[in-house]
Structure 1
Amino acid sequence: MIRALFAAALAVTFALPARAEVEIQEVTTPGGLTAWLVEEHSIPFTALEIWFRGGTSLDRPGKRGAINLMTATLEEGAGDLDALAFTRAKESLAASFSYDVGDDTLTVSAKFLTENRDQAVDLLRDSLINPRFDQDALDRVRGQVVSIIRSDAKNPNDIASNAFNNMAFGDHPYGSDANGTVESVTALTRDDILQAHQDTLTRDRIYIGAVGDITPEELSTLLDNLLGDLPETGPALPEAVEPALTGGVTVIPFDTPQSVALFGHAGVERDSEDFFPAYLLNTILGGGGFESRLMTEVREKRGLTYGTYSFIVDKDHADLWMGQVQSANNRVAEAIEVIQDIWADVSENGVTEEELEAAKKYMTGAYPLRFDGNGPIANIITGMQIEDMPLDYPATRNDKVNAVTLEQVNDVAKRYLRPEDLRFVVVGQPEGLTSTN
């Protein structure tokens, strides 16, 4: 019955009307934690997001993959419960916990019914404060991670991504696979995992968002109980790094009928006044689906690919403007040439007022659709905090988009799109392409 109620709550919650204007309250707990809350009492269900800044970039020297392995093992038993007992306890409460980690952030997502809130939070607390890290669980998850690493080594997309990141960032944590290598992961000990846990889940870098059937007072008590015993501080974050990319092509031979190409150069900071013009520019260039310049010229007019895209990558310590394309080995050289020409043309000549208005319509129309349930809203408001956005951002964001002028967009195109710095990493057997520089 509890599971059925939880499923019904999810169904109703995700059917709520799309909305971009939400009433966010800032909650400060007696223990000094700060959270953002959107109260929604129509359904007895709460979504909670807890993010820790740092992520896999905090791996210690020689311990690459430790934080990834630690994160994957958090739900493999906690407190008095081994992995199986923990799973059964979570299911009996119809609660949902998930743990993930990226270059800059470790995220914990939880959903629970109001009637089971206290028990669910106690269980979640054990997974964060008292994870068991039993050796058999560590070895089982380690085996899964090693399998992923070996599989990625045969995947052209992962090969391209790892090679590109290494070229861009070298010895910086961004320059290596967060999963680690087979050798580094195999060598990790339980003590390494305990250290990774101590380094990563710390109170000084917590960002919290909650949406649902909970009051500010209830949330305050919940958070101090849930997170109050975490370590106060962790190690220093990595230094900022400038992508060390130069223009040209890097070919990585791989036996496949289609070549995969990843390309990019340095990008734009999220807190820059140029970000919204850049975001609109990218929508026109390659981020707006079938209407983008890249898709029109590379796919529609020439049939060189099923899809090609560009995207802005905003990391905590570096920024990139990137894209990707996949094409037959005998056509990928032409696809790359067309992409280079488009990049140069937009940089030099900019875009049109018609393209800008279409991009604004696309961006402003799509934004409210993200607010389609407690979980997505909790995710959004937590991301807003980590990006240092104001409480009223959801209500003002589209106004900021609409205020961007054609002059601003074309100025950003000239300053940020640098075709001479565009580096292509091509994995496959491309005809007519050789590595340069």
Structure 2
Amino acid sequence: MIARFLTLVTATIFATALHAAVDIQEVESEGGISAWLVEEHSIPFTALEIRFRGGTSLDREGKRGEVNLMMALLEEGAGDLDAQEFAKARDNLAASFEFDAYRDSVSISARFLTENRDEAIRLLRAALVETRFDEDAIARVKGQVQSVIRNEQTDPGDIASNAFNAKAFGDHPYGTSDNGTSESVDALTREDMFAARDRAIVRDRIYVSAVGDITANELADLLDGLLGELPETGPKLPERVTPALDGGIEVVPYDTPQSVVIFGHQGISRDHPDYIPAYVANEVVGGAAESRLMEEVREKRGLTYGIGAYLLPFDHSELVLGQFSTANATVAEAIDVVRGEWEKLAADGLTAEELDLAKTYLTGAYALRFDGNAPIARIMVGMQMSGLDSGYIARRNDLVEALTLDEVNRVVREIYDPENLTFVVVGQPEGLETD
């Protein structure tokens, strides 16, 4: 508790400087590309974060895993450079590029020194519009993805996550792994990679932020040079899907001494006006070491080393989701405890003391997220994709502080749903079967 108090004190000190330091400029290039910028000229370094809405949900039918594989191949050669030459050129510039694929977006993270900015951006542009997708690189990266897929098939946590998603989302893209299956990945071709790139990396779904040693005019010029040649539009996004979770337990037999349990039900979207009170309530339920779930399942009964719950607002659906592991002999007891806490929460809500402690922690810890150029750039892109304005950082803590107990408990009663709380168990739980 003392350590946490000191952390909060430190965070509070940082928070005052944070609101003054994160001065977001909204930039638009001549080519119509918008970005958020925080200038920081004390170090000759810039972090650039780019995201495109859509992600692995844009995989075509029968080609699951194509966007994930494509993103992993962007650094494997571009223009006149093969994979090794591209890596050497990047390293010689002391730059770093990261290409990632997620359920609702693909992201590109670039870090570069001011003196090498132009060369780094030219190299990154080549990766996006002069991608080689060489056959030997495709074969090599396919092997890496196949290794991940094999691990998913033997890791209890991955098995549980995939089973829960399949139950919740069925044949929607959310219902299957972003990596695809062994068969679908094996069948992907070089032509599929070009098609996936031109579907997922498009201008009408782009979000950009930059933090560091760069001016607004320099960023505007950079954007057009880097992104101006991308395809203008992408394919239609998936339809909205309501999680098919109506309570009960599904057991997936697996030979392991501990069972992995994932539980949840429908949640709340990020743009819902009640998201902030729901977020604060979740901190009490399962977001911190002192949460109700940790207290009841771990501290009082010793049934697990850790348990948590969190809100997952996807673009086309939303969940309240939790997870824990426990010995096969204690799975049933642990599930009963979680159900009991959900029922108490829905019936009685939070206490005033719980709400005050959650407010103190969340407002104090907020500043700690802004601990460098790259984290700030990621936060700003996330804000844009969530529909938040550039002033949100300055007023976020005020929104939390303004919450009343009645307001939070109204949201708790509307969101937390014991009747539809669904559990997926992977293991050999004693005295527990699918119902």
TM-score, length-scaled by structure 1: 0.95
Alignment of 1:346-357 (within 5 A): 346-357=345-356
Q: Distance in 2 between matches of 1:391 and 1:65?
A: 34
Match 2:18 to one of 4, 17, 20: 20
Q: Distance in 2 between matches of 1:116 and 1:147?
A: 36
Matched AA of 1:131: T
Partner SS for 1:333: helix
The offset of 1:115, in angstroms, is 0.3
Q: Distance in 2 between matches of 1:280 and 1:109?
A: 30
Contact 2:14 2:367 in 1 (8 A): no
Alignment of 1:356-375 (within 5 A): 356-375=355-374
Other-structure match for 1:215: 215
CA-to-aligned-CA distance 1:347-397 (integer Å, 9 cap, x gap): 111110000000001111111000111101111111111111011111000
CA-to-aligned-CA distance 1:243-271 (integer Å, 9 cap, x gap): 01110000000000000000000001111
Partner SS for 1:304: coil
Q: Which moved more, 1:157-166 or 1:269-278?
A: 269-278
The offset of 1:408, in angstroms, is 1.1
Matched AA of 2:162: N
Q: Distance in 2 between matches of 1:319 and 1:273?
A: 15
Matched AA of 1:393: Y
Q: Distance in 1 between matches of 2:233 and 2:377?
A: 25
TM-score, length-scaled by structure 2: 0.96
Alignment of 1:149-168 (within 5 A): 149-168=149-168
Other-structure match for 1:134: 134
Matched AA of 1:345: K
Partner SS for 2:18: coil
Matched AA of 1:420: E
Alignment of 1:139-288 (within 5 A): 139-288=139-288
Q: Distance in 2 between matches of 1:70 and 1:216?
A: 31
Q: Distance in 2 between matches of 1:202 and 1:415?
A: 38
Other-structure match for 1:400: 399
Contact 1:286 1:310 in 2 (8 A): yes
Contact 1:331 1:431 in 2 (8 A): yes
Other-structure match for 1:294: 293
CA-to-aligned-CA distance 1:84-114 (integer Å, 9 cap, x gap): 0000000000001000010001000000000
Partner SS for 2:329: coil
Q: Distance in 2 between matches of 1:89 and 1:168?
A: 45
Other-structure match for 1:10: none
Partner SS for 1:381: helix
Q: Distance in 2 between matches of 1:374 and 1:150?
A: 36
The offset of 1:272, in angstroms, is 1.0
Matched AA of 1:416: I
Q: Distance in 2 between matches of 1:156 and 1:299?
A: 20
Other-structure match for 1:107: 107
Partner SS for 1:77: coil
Contact 1:54 1:106 in 2 (8 A): yes
Matched AA of 1:245: L
Query: Mind listing any 5+ residue stretches in structure 1 that lack a counterpart?
Result: 1-15
CA-to-aligned-CA distance 1:283-337 (integer Å, 9 cap, x gap): 0001122x10000000000011101101000100000001011100001110000
Contact 1:288 1:359 in 2 (8 A): no
Q: Distance in 2 between matches of 1:383 and 1:131?
A: 27
The offset of 1:70, in angstroms, is 0.2
Partner SS for 2:209: strand
- Misfit runs of 4+, over 2 Å: 16-20
Matched AA of 1:342: E
The offset of 1:83, in angstroms, is 0.2
The offset of 1:190, in angstroms, is 0.7
Contact 2:167 2:245 in 1 (8 A): yes
The offset of 1:17, in angstroms, is 5.9
Other-structure match for 1:11: none
Partner SS for 1:331: helix
Q: Distance in 2 between matches of 1:190 and 1:401?
A: 49
Q: Distance in 2 between matches of 1:45 and 1:123?
A: 17
Contact 1:104 1:315 in 2 (8 A): yes
Q: Distance in 2 between matches of 1:414 and 1:392?
A: 30
Q: Distance in 2 between matches of 1:207 and 1:46?
A: 17
Q: Distance in 2 between matches of 1:130 and 1:271?
A: 37
Matched AA of 1:402: E
Q: Distance in 2 between matches of 1:360 and 1:220?
A: 39
Partner SS for 1:305: coil
Other-structure match for 1:12: none
Q: Distance in 1 between matches of 2:365 and 2:315?
A: 25
Contact 1:49 1:382 in 2 (8 A): yes
Other-structure match for 2:329: 330
Contact 1:93 1:120 in 2 (8 A): yes
Matched AA of 1:432: G
Partner SS for 1:271: coil
Percent same amino acid at aligned positions?
60
The offset of 1:20, in angstroms, is 3.4
Matched AA of 1:263: F
Q: Distance in 2 between matches of 1:397 and 1:78?
A: 42
Other-structure match for 2:96: 96
Partner SS for 1:330: helix
Partner SS for 1:30: coil
